[in-house]
């Protein structure tokens, strides 16, 4: 009798989104506007710049490293752009 064959798992995916981390935010108003229009027009692709990702990671690090003894502060302004 032949040894049993291992079957590969059957995996299917539809409409899989992706994240593209690339470049830096433009510095001029016109280029920012153009970039935001382009970014918003992408379907199933989230475009994040390196400086945006770094800013979000810094805020997350500060939030997670806060000591429980520290007086509570209003963090709503710091996270406004993440909502």
Q: What is the reported pLDDT for 70?
A: 58
In which region does residue 38 sit, left (phi positive, over 0), alpha (psi from -120 to 50) or beta (all else)? alpha
pLDDT, tens only, 2-27: 556 678 888 888 888 899 999 999 99
Q: How many domains does the chain have?
A: 1
Find the angle CA(8)-CA(15)-CA(11) to the nearest 5 degrees: 10
Using CA atoms, how far residue 5 sits from 2, 11, 12, in Å, is 9, 18, 21
- Is residue 47 domain-resident? yes
Domain extent, residue 37, equals 19-66
Q: What is the reported pLDDT for 81?
A: 63
Find the angle CA(3)-CA(9)-CA(10) to the nearest 5 degrees: 125
Mean pLDDT within 38-61:
94
CA neighbor of 25 nearest in space, from 68, 54, 65, 5: 54
- Is residue 7 domain-resident? no
Q: What is the reported pLDDT for 54?
A: 95
């Amino acid at each position: 009798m032949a040894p049993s064959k291992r079957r590969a798992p059957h995996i299917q995916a539809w409409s899989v989104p992706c994240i593209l981390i690339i470049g830096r935010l433009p510095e001029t108003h016109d280029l920012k506007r153009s970039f935001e229009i382009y970014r918003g027009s992408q379907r199933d692709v989230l475009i994040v710049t390196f400086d945006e990702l770094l800013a979000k990671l810094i805020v997350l690090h500060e939030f997670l490293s806060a000591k429980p003894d520290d007086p509570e502060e209003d963090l709503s302004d710091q996270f406004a752009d993440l909502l």
